[in-house]
Structure 1
Amino acid sequence: MIRLGLRLAVTGGRAAIARLALVGGAVALGVALLLAVFAGINAVQSQNLRYAWLNSAVTEAATGTEAADAAGWALREDYFAGRRMARVDVAVTGPDSPVPPGMTRLPAPGEYYVSPALASLLASTPADQLGDRFPGRQVGVIGDAGLASPDSLIAVVGRTPQEVAGIIGATKITRIVSVSPQDCSGCYVGVGSDGITLILSVVAAALLFPLLMFIGTATRLAAARREQRFAAMRLVGATPRQITLIATVESTLAAAAGTLLGFALFPLLRLGLDRITFTGERFFLGDLSLTWFNVLLVGAGVPLGAAVAARAALRRVRITPLGVARRVTPRPPRAWRLLPVAAGLCELAWFIDRRPRTTNGQTEAYLGGIFLTMIGLVVAGPYLTMAGSRVLARLARRPATLIAGRRLADDPRAGFRAVSGLMLALFVTSVATGVITSIVAYRGETPVGTATYDNLSIGWYPDHGGKLPAADTPIPAGLTTTPGVRDVLVVRYQGIVGNLPTGAIGCADLTRHPDLGQCPPGAQVGAVYADLSRPDFGSDVYEASPMTLAQLPSLPVNSFVVLTDGSRAALEHSRTLLESTFPDGRFPSTENEWRSDFARTLVQFQRLADVVIVASLVIAGCSLAVSLAGGINERKRPFALLRLTGVRLAELRRVITLESAVPLLAVSAVAIAAGFTAAALFLRSQLDYDLKPPGLSYYVLVGLGLAVSLGLIASTMPLLRRVTGPQQARND
């Protein structure tokens, strides 16, 4: 039977070859994208492992032998032009001190190693903006083994043991950590690989759903003619099981060929993957690899999934031979089909104020609700299509509208099948856009030109191990005269006073810069945060400090806040000057820089979501085109008879357009509404955020998807003229 099925699949004429090509092409695209997702997951793990050595001071997890000589170690975070930079100050205590990967030795005092990307910046940037931060001379470049990304900015600076001991957070190490930050206790440098792996897994599922639907749609192409052929085979003695086997062989063959082609396409797709920054930093090309498990899972799973989809798509071939000729209108879908969608949204709503405490619990809760909603949309689609068809028939004023409404009402499942892939794509689009847009709105970057963006602050915090500078510590020489610096404010440390911030500043200083906030009426000293960020998340009024103006000069310095015009030269020159003056504390930064790390990651997720959306729309568009072409081919005789009775070709075109556009627009509206509802429920439950309206790119993407879908509908119209000629009216 398998050999017969292969022969029928290959020698069944142009329609069979076209069907094989369509299914194979769809599978190839889907397989290549799935392999890209798996490669991305593996690259995240590899990149995380490359971060391991930076955690050497916070965990004992390591492999290899312990070094005989300890090394002084202090890891701090720095910035340049908005990019994050890691700096490790080290002190050699003997010839056998531990050496990080990518280096042959630790730098001696007055020497430093840098990553290739940082070396390029040092060569192209004035020294007073970057190079002067590193005392001594560059003696080497860190190799790839010690870098998470080709774009990583890392410096390992040699200092004396006494100098390193005076740095905040300094310690001594005898081993270099060589396990993933995910697997060691206390590690904080690295990627949240669990979350990214989860997101990429959702991406894989989001690609797999429309892919399997497209395979099922392509399998149904010319289904009526194939059912007649299978019925004839039943009459000569074939069993239902044999017919089912023959019916699935064709799709499995196409899926297997498409899988091989997908593996062939993956190396080409991989060449562009190192440009997509899933984690905020590019991957090394070698990290974008596949495991044997990935290869076996995709190589065997996709053809198996295609076989299952084909069996479900052609389950009607198992009816009796007479059943093919005695088809009746199927029972209309019932309202119960709306229950799974409601159940999915209710499940998400139930977790508002009941958020699971563990990460696994949150994953199961939210991911389960979203997947249940996706399945519910597929289940509810035929009912929504039927409801739209009844409205269309009720409002009909022309024959084409009435015919289209009656046709959709007769078989709403077939009408929905054509647009099911697009429905899922729009749902995924709406959920991803709603969540990411809202999080960025609450926690994203501060717009360029606002006070918090232009302010550079360096602070000391006793509760975090920082030693406060003396009260008479002067403002670094030359800082106030730096071009682009508007002013330098000194925030004093008032200690812990109830619930007030620990900083204190004269209200006269705030009066000169009203964009920073203001004191309450009558107050002379305001209680502020060290970086002068806004109090109470947006309020313009600080609380009054119990300190007096006379007491301020005697208080130790809490921070220096440099107000600049936002230019890179002013920011980086000021930063370098502050670091050179105060080399042992936390490095200066703007509020926007530490907030932008999270926002930048969200932007990468948005890009990833856009890739998924575009791929889903492409697959959904192919599914729509195949379904339309198949529907026209199967109804060529009824359409030919209508033309013989005087129905104009333009009316038939309206019928096809309405049959496709009504379910398309109906399910699109429901999918978008369900997507934003799911996003709003997740945000309220997980983060206590309100849903924010999406940006222009969302509307452009949705409009483009719908426009392409309508264009695909229009592209099938020339086929209608060719297949509805008088010769098609004869009986077969």
Structure 2
Amino acid sequence: MNLDLTWRLLKGGGRKGMLGTWLTFGAVAVATALLLFAVAANVAFDARADRSAWRNPVAAQKDAVAVEATRFDFVGDQAITVVDLAALKPGVPAPPGMPRFPAPGEAWLSPALSELAARLPADRLARRYPAPKGVLGQEALLHPEELVAVVGHAPDAPEITAARSDDWILGKPPVKVATLAGTPSEDAEAYRVLALIASVLMVVPLLVFGGAAARLTVARRDQRLAALRLIGATPGQVLGMTVAEAVIVAFAGALAGAVAFGAAVPLLARIPIQGGTWFVADLFPNLLILAGVLVAVPLLVGLSAVAGLRRVVVSPLGVAKRETPPGMRFVRVLALIAVLAAFPLLTRGTSVAIVAVALGLAFLCLNLAGPWVVGIIGRIAAGTARRPARLLAARRLVDDPRSAWRTVSGVALTGFVAGFLGLLSPGAFGGDTGPAQLSVAAPAGETTQVADQARDRLKRAGVTATVKSSGRTVVAALGSGADDAVVDRARTALTGLVPGHTPTTKVDEQRFGLQIFADVRVGTIVVLSVSFLVAIASAGITAASSVLDRRQTYALLRLAGTPLEVLDRARRAETLIPMAVMGGGAILVGAFCAVPFMIGGISTTGVVTLVVCVVAGFAGVIGAGALSRPLLRSVTADPAPRPD
């Protein structure tokens, strides 16, 4: 019976009542789609870490079946991951992405490397991997554009037996392994940590936005439910109808959001991170995660709707009479102050999980303190008001700060994200590395012989270079006029000069640092884009909902002679005043939380990124709020009082 009545009330709410339902539907759809994106980012990085784990070998305690070593090669401005393998016994299982274990002398290339080798002149790349036997499958690659070569060797080959230094440039030294499973590398774990922190920065505003979606058109719902209570409906019936209405709309919105996310995945897969784009399959959460999101979002909306029913259940007559709800207490701000005071301690030398929890607490406490601060802003604005529009806006903030906070909460929480990430965005890395030169480490006592061989190889390859030795390092200076083609030809000529060692330039030594910094910048832009999209959607939807909630108040003010322009200025002011104060305050709170993570001072690039994103985001929020002006004109077109 309750469900049938709920359905009838939902359908019979009239054109403006259904508009409120559609606003809730849209808000939940946006929140679900972006929530799935945040979850998918973690799933995708996990998939990459699992696929690349076999390149980070674990030494066998006994019964070794193969020897594995990794190193990096370079072509142009790209890195090549080279995996050297040697079988110690017959029947060794095939590495990921290969039909069988490579025989000595065989090379298997990734699709991107195979294509590049065919496109470039042979003396730039192909001669380093002669007669490739096959193409690696997706199971062996981080991303579609990754350059990987798997080379087979005999167990006594110099590439397997020669000593290598274990550093992040040259790769991993030869290791006897019992399996090619391996463990995720330090780089993979670092990207997982960054993805988790980024997810917290995206998910908390989304959860707040999703919860606020349940309270869109809250005044209309309160009035209707209060009327039902006054004619005899029990608290249980009111509760059941509220939950049913919220869950029905939220579940439909969640499904629409999931469909929108699925349609957007091919576009999201083009975002370059960690050197390349994504396999589309990586960005699709498994069915269990998808089902969890589709259940969790309607449940959150239902719980948030129930939380707003206390006034209806306890005092339906007070709701019907439009009594002002009780004020909020300063303890809300004390909670935020306590978290900020403890934040530097929580993030000092602790795990990433604790850091994520600390960020989440700062977010939630900011959301908790927001309505109280909005109420204070309203009192100050009312005391200093000199025009009717400002006075109307201020009285609205004082009368219902929770509703006003819902309109600007997306902006405030996005300001926190912008303040936190903006100062952490890395600036320039590296600089002028001087004339091109390749360096390679020579075995002890063989520096002279290696230098002579290097001169001979470069001469036969037609590369002009000055070869010198310094300690155990042989350096081939190619001159200031050497371009990428010359450097690549020199690399090819020197390939195998010292087995297991790759000739590198100073740029190569900075390449991975440049990559990580570039990825942090991309991640910053993505997170800020998602956050401001939430803020813009939140501002637009809640502003329209606020007009619907107060349509009778607006109509009565018009009937009393208030010009429409004054009402519109008041509507804008009640958004812009708290948005400016709370947005700026949230940016400062986010910057404060970023201080423990700052290395090397404030980045100019980060400040510029922060300013650009804030200006663009606030402009979008103001534009989204302006879209509710036609709705205001519509609800005041007939100023006659309504019977409800």
**What residue in structure 2 maps to residue 249 of structure 1?**
244
- Asked if 1:667 corresponds to 2:582, the answer is yes
Mapped contact 2:439–2:476 kept (Cα < 8 A): yes
| Number of corresponding residues | 632
Give the 3 Å change call, closer, same or farther, for CA 607–566 of structure 1 in structure 2. farther
Residue 451 (1) aligns with residue 433 (2): yes
> Which residue is 1:157 aligned to?
151
- Deviation string 1:117-157 (CA, Å, 9 cap, x unpaired) is 111111111222222323x4222222333333322212233
1:260 to 255, 260, 273: 255
1:424 aligns with 2:336: no
Does structure 1 retain, via aligned residues, the 8 Å contact 2:32–2:254? yes
1:490-501 matched pairs, under 5 angstroms:
490=468, 492-493=470-471
C-alpha displacement of 1:247: 1.6
Using the TM superposition, name which of 568-577 and 558-567 deviates more. Answer: 558-567
The 5 A counterparts of 1:150-189 are: 150-159=144-153, 161-165=156-160, 167-169=162-164, 171=174, 173=176, 175-179=178-182, 181-182=183-184, 188=185
* Structure 2 CA distance for aligned equivalents of residues 689 and 345 of structure 1: 22
* Contact 2:450–2:474 under 8 Å retained in 1: no
Which residue in the other structure is 1:26 paired with? 27
CA displacement at 1:333 relative to structure 2: 4.2
Distance 1:472 1:578 in 2: 10
Tell me whether 1:627 sits opposite 2:542 in the alignment.
Answer: yes
Counterpart Cα distance in 2 of 1:408 and 1:172: 67
Please state how far the C-alpha of 1:252 moved relative to its aligned partner.
0.7
C-alpha distance in 2 between matches for 1:309 and 1:202: 25
Q: After the TM superposition, which residues 451-530 of structure 1 pair with which residues of structure 2 at under 5 Å, given as runs?
A: 451=433, 455-460=436-441, 469-470=447-448, 473-474=451-452, 476-477=455-456, 488=466, 490=468, 492-493=470-471
Residue 282 of structure 1: CA displacement? 3.3
Give the C-alpha shift of residue 711 in structure 1. 1.3
Q: Which one of 612, 616, 633 corresponds to residue 531 of structure 2?
A: 616
2:12 & 2:495 partners in 1: Cα distance? 76
Aligned to 1:405, which of 390, 394, 397? 394
* 2:601 counterpart of 1:690: yes
| Aligned residue number for residue 575 of structure 1 | 491
How many percent identity over aligned positions?
31
Structure 2 residue aligned with 1:373: 362
Counterpart Cα distance in 1 of 2:195 and 2:503: 35
Counterparts of 1:364 and 1:374, CA distance in 2: 15
Deviation of 1:644 after TM superposition, in Å, equals: 4.1
Measured after TM superposition, the shift of residue 290 of structure 1 is: 2.9
Counterpart residue number, 2:136: 142
Compared with structure 1, are the counterparts of its residues 344 and 477 closer, same or farther at alpha carbon in structure 2 (3 Å cutoff)? farther
**CA drift at 1:172:** 6.8
SS, match of residue 473 in structure 1: helix
The AA in structure 2 aligned to 1:298 is V
RMSD: 3.3
* Structure 2 residue aligned with 1:120: 115
Distance 2:547 2:272 in 1: 44
Aligned to 2:60: 60
> Hey, what does 1:537 align to over in structure 2?
none
Counterpart check, 1:38 vs 2:20: no
Displacement of 1:679 in angstroms is: 0.9
CA 1:365–1:48: 2 relative to 1, 3 Å = closer
Match of 2:302 in 1: 307
Gap change, CA 1:478 and 1:650, over 3 Å in 2: same
Separation of aligned partners in 2, 1:557 and 1:257: 66
- Secondary structure of 1:470's aligned partner: helix
Deviations 1:593-639 (A, max 9, x none): 34332442343344344333333323332322232223333333443
Alignment of 1:390-401 (within 5 A): 390-401=379-390
Give distance in 1, aligned partners of 2:104 and 2:211. Answer: 67
Question: How do 1:336-355 and structure 2 match up within 5 A?
Answer: 336-350=331-345, 355=348
- Mapped to 1, the partners of 2:341 and 2:442 lie a distance apart of 46
The Cα shift of 1:669 comes to: 0.3
Question: Which SS does the other structure have where 1:127 is aligned?
Answer: coil
Aligned to 1:591: 506
Residue 316 of structure 1, aligned match among 311, 316, 321:
311
Paired residues of 2:59 and 2:177 also in contact (CA < 8 A): no
For 1:317, give the aligned amino acid.
V
Gaps of 5+ in 1: 183-187, 494-555
Q: Indicate the residue corresponding to 1:384 in structure 2.
A: 373
Amino acid across the alignment from 1:699: V
After TM superposition, give the deviation of residue 418 of structure 1 in Å.
0.6
Question: In 2, distance between residues paired with 1:489 and 1:583?
Answer: 15
Indicate whether 1:708 and 2:620 are aligned.
yes
TM superposition score normalised by structure 2: 0.87
Change in CA separation of 1:472 and 1:392 when aligned onto 2, cut-off 3 Å: same
The answer to whether the Cα contact below 8 Å between 2:76 and 2:485 also exists between their aligned partners in 1 is no
Q: Quickly say closer, same or farther: Cα 1:382–1:36, change in 2 above 3 A.
A: closer
Secondary structure in 2 matching 1:87? strand
1:169-318 mapped onto 2 (5 Å cutoff): 169=164, 171=174, 173=176, 175-179=178-182, 181-182=183-184, 188=185, 191-193=187-189, 195-318=190-313
The question of whether the paired residues in 2 share the 8 Å contact of 1:20 and 1:250 is answered with no
Contact 2:24 2:213 in 1 (8 A): yes
Deviation of residue 11 (structure 1)?
Answer: 3.0
Residue aligning to 2:16: 15
Matched to 2:147, the amino acid is L
Q: Quick one: which amino acid aligns to residue 260 of structure 1?
A: L
Q: Distance in 1 between matches of 2:379 and 2:446?
A: 75
User: Which portions of structure 1, spanning 4 or more consecutive aligned residues, are displaced by more than 6 angstroms?
Assistant: 480-485
Q: Measure the CA separation in 1 of the matches of 2:175 and 2:525.
A: 45
Conserved 8 A contact 1:343-1:373:
no
Q: Residue in 1 aligned with 2:569?
A: 654
Contact 1:643 1:649 (8 Å CA) reproduced: yes
**For 2:229, what is the secondary structure of its paired residue?**
helix
Residues 32 and 269 in structure 1, CA contact (< 8 A), matched pair in contact too: no
1:320-364 CA distances to partner (integer Å, 9 max, x unpaired)? 232124444445545443323322222222358xx32xxxx3324
How has the CA–CA distance of structure 1 residues 467 and 237 changed in structure 2, closer, same or farther, with 3 Å as cutoff?
farther
Question: For structure 1, which segment, 211-220 or 289-298, has the greater mean C-alpha deviation from structure 2 after superposition?
Answer: 211-220
Whether the 8 Å CA contact 1:680–1:690 is kept in 2: the answer is no
SS at match of 2:499: coil
Query: For the Cα contact (< 8 Å) 1:210–1:421, is it kept in 2?
Result: yes
Cα distance in 2 for residues equivalent to 1:483 and 1:146? 36
More displaced stretch, 71-80 vs 197-206: 197-206
- Give the alignment's TM-score, normalised by structure 1: 0.78
What's the offset of the Cα at 1:661? 0.6
Structure 1 residue 302 displacement after superposition:
1.5
The 2-side partners of 1:339 and 1:455 are apart by 59
Instruction: Assess, with a 3 A threshold, how the Cα gap between structure 1 residues 38 and 406 changes in structure 2: closer, same or farther.
Output: closer
Counterpart for residue 505 of structure 1: none
The residue aligned with 1:434 is 423
Return the offset for 1:87.
1.8
